[in-house]
Structure 1
Amino acid sequence: MAYRFTRADVGYLGSAAGRAALAEVDRLTLSAASLLGDLERVRRDHGDRAAALVETVRLRRRAVAKLPGAPGWLFTDDAMQQATPSVVADHRARRLAGRAVHDLTCSIGAELAALHQVCPIVIGSDLDDVRLAMAAHNLADAPNVLLAKADALVPCSTGTVVIADPARRADGRRTHDPAKLQPPLPDLLDAYRGRDIAVKCAPGLDFDQFEDCEAEVVSLDGAVREACLWSSGLAEPGVTRRATVLRSDGSDWTLTDAAPDEIPEQPPGEWIIDPDGAVVRAGLVRHYAAENGLWQLDPRIAYLTGDRVPEGIRGFRILDRLDLREKTLRAELRRRGCGPLEILTRGVDLDPDALRARLKPRGAVPFSLVITRIGRTPTVFLCETPPARPTSRV
């Protein structure tokens, strides 16, 4: 169970004595194997401060990849997990550059850290006293950031763009129901009707409920991180859907539903392309295909095909097309000396791990199976396995 920080903990950890103690604890391993012994040593040296010190050091270590610019920050476990990765926060801040911004659910300040670099005035508010105290510590060197305790559903600023990140857990479970977010999304939009507002939400949300907004889905190194609803005053004219793909190598790109979506209907080409998750979640598969000279294997399935692979994308070169019969697949994989086996599925009810175990690949040559449905027919494409993309950013 995660340690529950208090305002007194925050005051101590931010003091000269606390910083010295944290530096001392940071020299310990604090691994799963050493934790009990390390904690006992910290208790001997620092008494009842031990748990707060150990938890802070461990949280800082976990936060390094996600929040690389926050080495001396204070966190709670939940706040660190919920914090927007710096790369994603920087992207959102660029869309708000030059505006005065009020973060209604600022928590420990991850969004504020990005906003204060490009916005003249930044206000952060929250109802959690401990997180506000941590935000004050984390942003002590940001003179244009103002912090206040306030209810997100009670407007307390004027002339600002408002942003919010409602908690996406209800009754201990992750929820996609807008009315069960904290604060509830419908209430939040009602409270700031007529204001420019951006609200983070789950990528699985039914965006069709929000006709007056631009829904942007953001991925980072191939993993979908979040969606954001942008009110009409912040949206690009004519755009209701956007996919933003952020990558470690800097080859970021974006696609909107203002792009053409006319694509041909043709038999499979030489390659299969599995579009980035942001494209799929944003409903822009056809737009992506049209932009890159591709077409769909099936009009209801997100797999694309073509005779070339877009730059920077993993493409699966088709070697053979087979029926979904395990005996046939097993024999073909054995004949080809298949060892490492990647299995991708869309449109079929199938557990890739269970299928891999039943196929029993024991050779040395890597292959990929792309299993999908064309019309009503389950179909297997045996493909070369492409190299994985790097995933150094989190």
Structure 2
Amino acid sequence: MGYRFTLADVAFLRSPAGAGALAACADLPLTGASRIADVAAARRIAGAEHAAAVLETVLLRRAAAVKLDGAREWLYTADALQQATPTPVAAHRAQRLAGRVVHDVTCSIGADLVALARTCGRCLGSDLDAVRLAMARYNLAAAGVAPALVRADALRPVSRDGVVVADPARRDAAGRRTWRPADFAPPLDALVAAYPGRDLVVKCAPGIDPSVVPWVDELELVSLDGQVREACLWRGSVATVSRRATVLRPDGTAWTVTDAEPDDIGVGEPGEWIVDPDGAVVRAGLVRHYGARHGLWQLDERIAYLTGDAPPPGVRAFRVLDFGGYSEKSLRDTLRRFDVGRVEILVRGLDVDPNALRRRLKPRGAGEASVVLTRVGRRPVAFLCRAERTPG
């Protein structure tokens, strides 16, 4: 859970003296081996009263650098940083709300609010935690935006119109992750009930069960750099389809597939390529829609792998070199025949642990390959492939 910041800590960190202390401590090693020396240096620079807050802030700023723009200028708590939306994801959501009046009712340290303030017509942020709200005020100023801020309970509305945006905490008092919406803070059902008739956007973990949120008009799964980051629940006029997958790429580009698109693809023999759709597409139940867009078909209607004679642009796909029925013996023989010593193993539809299988196979060749294990009907099948990044 990290250091517990106080309002006095935030006031010091926002002051010229605090800024100087943070700058002076920014290059400390902060390793296990240097801990005693680092603490002594921080006490000398910031004083015993503020040393812990300064060291924690330096550590959190370093951790935030891979997640948030402006990370080295902001203030954080450990829990708030862990829950903060990565900047590209927050910017995508804000773009969908461009020009709207928006109230972020769980604004925390302001990571989402910065993106919303840059895009939306008018913005209000609120939070019950006075420390996080004070940090948000500092972070928003550092980012060059100035939405209104107010201390308020998300379950007690302080705005009358506009889109409500929320990001309920999904950890209990001990810091353990919770998957039950009733255990969110605030509880998800109570949050929804507090804003009847209002457009609503709620960030949740990507594993949320759609059956527990029957009020949702659109379920959006968002991935960033190949990792599914969140499920976003849209209610009201902000929803445009029932299911959406949004894929954000490292180069800043993005693409989306929705259930409004055709899904008329067949099941057939393997083509020249195997395509493993992005996790957001799989979790959103849009594999067939994605396949139809790119002229692909399924190996098995219950398995998420797609196949075809040309892969989609800009993806990592698997060119089929050989395939046949799967057994460890036959796969070992295939690896030996193709002189494979380094092997990536992907599995869907079979009870196989890739790491344990790789140890048992003991490949010894000079080359490398990818193995895709799946089933077609009831038959286990192995594909020996070469992974390639397609242009585009």
For normalisation by structure 2, the TM-score amounts to: 0.94
Aligned to 2:367: 365
* Partner of residue 219 from structure 1, selected from 199, 217, 223: 223
Aligned to 2:169: 167
Aligned to 2:94: 93
Q: Quick check: 1:20 aligned with 2:20?
A: yes
Q: Which amino acid aligns with 1:100?
A: V
* CA 32–337 in structure 1, closer or farther in 2 if over 3 Å, else same: farther
Aligned to 1:78: 79
CA distance in 2, matches of 1:180, 1:388: 43
**CA displacement 1:272-317 (0-9 Å, x = unmatched):** 0000111011110000000000011110110000011110011101
Aligned to 1:392: none
Aligned to 1:229: 233
Q: Which amino acid aligns with 1:291?
A: R
Aligned to 1:107: 108
CA distance in 1, matches of 2:150, 2:105: 10
* Partner of residue 277 from structure 1, selected from 276, 279, 291: 279
Q: Which amino acid aligns with 2:96?
A: R
Aligned to 1:191: 194
Contact kept, 8 Å, 1:164 with 1:199, in 2: the verdict is: yes
For normalisation by structure 1, the TM-score amounts to: 0.94
For structure 1, the residue ranges without an aligned partner over 5 or more in a row are 390-394
CA distance in 2, matches of 1:169, 1:324: 42
CA distance in 1, matches of 2:343, 2:303: 22
Aligned to 2:208: 205
**Equivalent residue of 1:293, what SS?**
coil
Q: Aligned-pair distance for 1:42?
A: 1.7
Q: Which amino acid aligns with 1:243?
A: A
CA distance in 1, matches of 2:388, 2:357: 20
User: Identity rate of aligned residues, in percent?
Assistant: 60
Contact kept, 8 Å, 2:164 with 2:201, in 1: the verdict is: yes
Q: Aligned-pair distance for 1:341?
A: 1.1
CA distance in 2, matches of 1:275, 1:143: 38
The residue correspondences of 1:1-394 to structure 2 (distance < 5 A) are 2-45=2-45, 46-140=47-141, 144-170=146-172, 172-208=175-211, 209-210=213-214, 212-236=216-240, 239-387=241-389
Q: Aligned-pair distance for 1:36?
A: 3.2
Contact kept, 8 Å, 1:342 with 1:385, in 2: the verdict is: no
**CA displacement 1:240-264 (0-9 Å, x = unmatched):** 0001111122331111100000002
For structure 2, the residue ranges without an aligned partner over 5 or more in a row are none
**Which moves more between the two structures, 174-183 or 211-220?**
174-183
**Equivalent residue of 1:131, what SS?**
helix
Q: Which amino acid aligns with 1:363?
A: G
